Amino acid sequence: MLKKYLFTPFILSLSAQMDKEHTRNKINEWGKRGVPFLFIIDFEQENPLAWPLDEIPAHVHYNFNGITNRKHTTPLPHPIHFTKSPVGLDQYREKFDAVIRGLKKGDSYLLNLTSRTPVDTNLDLLTIYANARSKYALCIEDQFVSFSPETFVRIAGNYIYTFPMKGTIDADLPNARQKIMEDRKEAAEHATIVDLMRNDLSRIGREVTLLRFRYYEVLAVQGKNIGQVSSEIRATLPEDFTHQLGDILYSLLPAGSISGAPKQKTVELIRSIETEPRGYYTGVAFYYDGNTLDSCVLIRYLEKDGFFRSGGGITAQSQLQNEYQEMIDKVYVPFH
């Protein structure tokens, strides 16, 4: 079973709501003072972790686009053993059908449905972290490793950027880029998340601008290539935004790409259908150097107990078999 560390980066209050308020205020204070920090928040926003960069414990490892607290040279075993045993189609269908019912009732029009897949592997979490070829990697030993390709928000100067990622395809298929870019369901799903994130940014900034819409990238993973579609949105923050940095970050949670729209009702529906907490999976990790901020959505996520978590966005146009296969395809390790 998953082991829990008893270390806490600062004393938290008695309730989850008080934990959230305490963390928000702490990050406001650190932002105002220019204190560099690492902030990790779970999907439910109940178990925040935050440390000044010079106080990060030895069991926490991060890499944000090459900025890392520790470099590891852990060799990969040869051969690599990584076998996944996804839930059966009938079991997945039960949750898929529940999502579709919620969509038809109008409770949501886009919901990110996730599943847990048991994997058998000779790779430990730290080895995966040390060898991950991804934009972001985060490992809390004896808890989880995430090797995420998805940027959540970046702050540079007085600009905040977000990069919603929605749309995945096997990039080795013939005409893969054309297929996903011309897929009406994928296009509608992506546009929904872009609108959601534009609205989120409009609540904390001004001059919200869509800089790039639906650009295509290829990620090389475990003997194959995955194509993914993202967009880039920018807004201008107030001059004193560092004084309210905690308020700004919390106001954007949870990330729209891994929840859905409208956000509040969709999150309620997710909780009723998935029935178990996601924890740090689909949460967000933030790195702040005292001037600029980078962050990622905690996807591509393996737990110490051997469960890999993955999912995808469901709309009224979704096809059961396609969504089931996407959930399976996202279970991989980032080596090639």
CATH number of the domain where residue 185 is located: 3.60.120.10
Kindly write down the DSSP assignment for every residue of 188-219, as one continuous string. Answer: HHHHHHHHHHHHHHHTT-EEEEEEEEEEEEEE
The number of domains in the chain is 1
Instruction: With respect to residue 2, please indicate whether it lies within any of the assigned structural domains.
Output: no
Give domain status of residue 7, yes or no.
Answer: no
Is the residue at 30 inside a domain?
yes
Give a yes or no: residue 252 inside a domain: yes
Residue 309, domain extent: 16-329
Residue 85 neighbours by CB distance under 10 Å? 12
Q: Rg of the Cα trace of the chain?
A: 19
Q: pLDDT for 235-259, tens place per residue? A: 999 999 999 999 999 999 999 999 9
Look at residues 321, 298, 319, 2 and name the one whose alpha carbon lies nearest to residue 142.
2
335 in a structural domain: no
CA-closest candidate to residue 30, choices 201, 248, 298: 248
Per-residue pLDDT 10s for the chain (336 aa) are: 333 333 334 433 333 455 889 999 999 999 999 999 999 999 999 999 999 999 999 999 999 999 999 887 889 999 999 999 999 999 999 999 999 999 999 999 999 999 999 999 999 999 999 999 899 999 999 899 999 999 999 999 999 999 988 888 888 899 999 999 999 888 988 999 999 999 999 999 999 999 999 999 887 766 678 888 999 999 999 999 999 999 999 999 999 999 999 999 999 999 999 999 999 999 999 999 999 999 999 999 999 999 999 999 999 999 999 999 999 999 999 885
Report yes or no on 334 lying in a domain. no
pTM here is 0.90
Q: Is residue 82 part of a domain?
A: yes
Angle of the 320-329 helix axis to the 89-105 helix axis, nearest 10: 120
For 28-72, what is each residue's pLDDT tens digit?
A: 999 999 999 999 999 999 999 999 999 999 999 999 999 999 887
- 10 within domain boundaries: no
